[in-house]
Chains A and B, each alone.
Chain A
Amino acid sequence: MRKNELMRETFKKAVFGDQIIRMVVAPDALAAKIAEENGADAVFAAGYATSASTLAMPDRGIADFGMMLERCREIINAVNIPVFADADTGYGDLENVKRTVRSYEMIGAAGIFLEDQKWPKRCGHMAGKSVEAPEVLEAKIATAVATRQHDDFLIMSRTDARAVYGLDDAIARSHRYQDAGADMVFIEAPRNREELVSIHEAFPTTPLMANMIEGGATPLTQTADLQRLGFRIVVYPTAMTYAQTYANEALLQSLQETGTTQKFEDRMVTFSRFNHFVGLDEVNAREQCYTPEKMKQYL
């Protein structure tokens, strides 16, 4: 079984299994590998982190399809756990949605979500969002489902209507998106525990995702608690980006103050440990497989 098939199958089994999936947003391939090595069940290649790591800019619809796709591809190639992808609005009309779906499926993503914000979109927890009429995402979801080549390439609907029209509208839209073919539902930015409960009551058997963003609209909730509330996936979209930024700032302040990185060494991985982590031993061993001496057997 090729990696793409295995990752789709693994993700689908997990989504429809009985344990909540802890999905970490990785800003880049190295972060994804760190997430994999430290217990994440899946990685999410998402807009907030990609905008930050690629452009050093906010998630305001400036990172385009090409950037998002390429970053997701780098992450997929670096890990052996499923990678789910943020496909934003599908980047245009239904023709764009087709290309988006085909592209993410081809690079080996386990699935994507498509959302109903107006382009240029913004992070779901930022102020000033606006959403399309529900017919727009309904058509995109139906198109995505018809375009995918494998049924286990999962399509999630995301609505941002909670912030614009309230929870009831967000739930009603999500029912329409599900009827259009969405395998999973994501209602962005519920404001309290009661809303999380209401979402599960509205979708008792549908895989649901909860978004735990530090400083966001939804209260940070324990993974086990989210599982009890009926959520199948919990995603941490900003934690690695914020932690990286915090650590880098502290490092550079220390350098500025002391003129050396020496005082910060105890908060770094070592040269040898890092080389080991990124697979230097394997690369060196691989090179040794193809020396002229080893090729004599074919002469």
Chain B
Amino acid sequence: MSHLLNQYASNRHLIMPAIGEGMALRLLNRNQLVPIYLSATLATQTLLGETNQGLLTLSEYAKFLRDMRLTTNLPLIADLQSGFGNPLNTYYAAQELERSGGDVLLLNDQHYPAHSEEQPATTNLADLLGKLRAARDATSEGTEIWVKLEGLWEYGPTDILNRMQALTKAGADAIIIDHWQADQLTTIAAQKRTIPLLATWTPSCQMDAQIDAWLDTGLLIREAQRAQQEALAAFMGGIAYAQK
């Protein structure tokens, strides 16, 4: 059970923003009092200029997390990705992200290396449970482990419920559903559960009332990129005008 989410229980539409660079965190630090998700996908864009989170190594991400930790006291959701390898790797990765300042470690069920795509390959449940248990054993009581399930397209709502049940039993503090469609999410959210259920969020998504909280996927950075494209167009236009 997530003690962190309990603190925000009065916020019926809790959306936790995703960031991948320091100035966005600085902005949120002044204006928000909610947990911040340090997305590995977004950090990969900032640090490597790439879009595939699988290129970002644990040490590179952990350094980014430590730098961000120094700038805020807000709860930070650290991206454990798919554990950076097998359950043994997950054990040491979880230890590293906890001591680098993560309050929540977000483990996904992708096959290692994790990818930033709509239909990622997922790992089997035994491997995922091993990683969850490893992360649990590696961290102290106050650190939460949330599991993001990304294979709805592959294993469907029935199997996802089996996964949720096993993950709950193995000690997950919350479950997040990613890459969902509204009818699938409604089916999943209607089931009885003992830990919080979250889903990924975009501005256009239908927010099901049964979902306990929402995890942003990068609105701020997408808006910033749009603004940059407009600025670039103006810049190129200026150059063309000057050349005339």
Residues from 141 to 173 in B contacting A, C-beta threshold 8 Å:
166-167, 169-170
* Nearest chain A CB to B105 CB, angstrom units: 15
Q: Write out the residue numbers on chain A whose beta carbons fall within 8 Å of the beta carbon of B127.
A: 292
Q: How many residues of B contact A (CB 8 A)?
A: 24
Known: A283-B88, A292-B130. A298 touches B169 (CB 8 A): yes
Return the chain B residue nearest A1 by Cβ: B140
Q: Write out the residue numbers on chain B whose beta carbons fall within 8 Å of the beta carbon of A77.
A: 99
Q: How many residues of A contact B (CB 8 A)?
A: 22
**Residue from B69, B125, B130 in contact with A290 in the complex, judged by beta carbons closer than 8 Å:** B130
Cβ of B66 and Cβ of A295 under 8 Å apart? no
Return the chain A residue nearest B96 by Cβ: A77
Q: Which stretch from B5-13, B24-32, B131-139, B181-189 is at the chain A interface?
A: B131-139
Q: Write out the residue numbers on chain B whose beta carbons fall within 8 Å of the beta carbon of A295.
A: 125-126, 129-130, 133, 170
Known: A99-B70, A106-B69, A106-B101. A298 touches B129 (CB 8 A): yes
Residue A287, interface by CB 8 Å = yes
* Nearest chain A CB to B136 CB, angstrom units: 10
Cβ of A290 and Cβ of B99 under 8 Å apart? no
Q: Write out the residue numbers on chain A whose beta carbons fall within 8 Å of the beta carbon of B91.
A: 286, 290
Cβ of A108 and Cβ of B126 under 8 Å apart? no
Cβ of A287 and Cβ of B69 under 8 Å apart? no
Return the chain B residue nearest A149 by Cβ: B73
Q: Write out the residue numbers on chain A whose beta carbons fall within 8 Å of the beta carbon of B137.
A: 289
Most A C-beta atoms less than 10 A away, residue of B86, B91, B130, B167: B130
Q: Write out the residue numbers on chain A whose beta carbons fall within 8 Å of the beta carbon of B66.
A: 103, 106-107
Q: Is the interface of A mostly helix, strand, loop or mixed?
A: helix
**Residue from B99, B130, B167, B170 in contact with A291 in the complex, judged by beta carbons closer than 8 Å:** B130
Residues from 276 to 299 in A contacting B, C-beta threshold 8 Å:
283, 286-287, 289-292, 294-296, 298-299
Residue B87, interface by CB 8 Å = yes
Report Cα–Cα, A240/B69, bound state, in Å: 34
Cβ of A298 and Cβ of B166 under 8 Å apart? yes
Report Cα–Cα, A290/B129, bound state, in Å: 8
Return the chain A residue nearest B140 by Cβ: A2
List the 4 closest A-B pairs by CB distance, nearest first. Answer: A290-B130, A290-B87, A292-B126, A295-B129
Hey, which bits of chain A sit against chain B, CB under 8 A?
2-4, 77, 99, 102-103, 106-108, 283, 286-287, 289-292, 294-296, 298-299
Hey, which bits of chain B sit against chain A, CB under 8 A?
66, 69-70, 86-88, 91, 99, 101, 124-127, 129-131, 133-134, 137, 140, 166-167, 169-170
Interface pairs (9), CB distance under 8 Å:
A3-B99, A286-B134, A287-B87, A292-B124, A292-B127, A292-B130, A295-B129, A298-B167, A299-B129
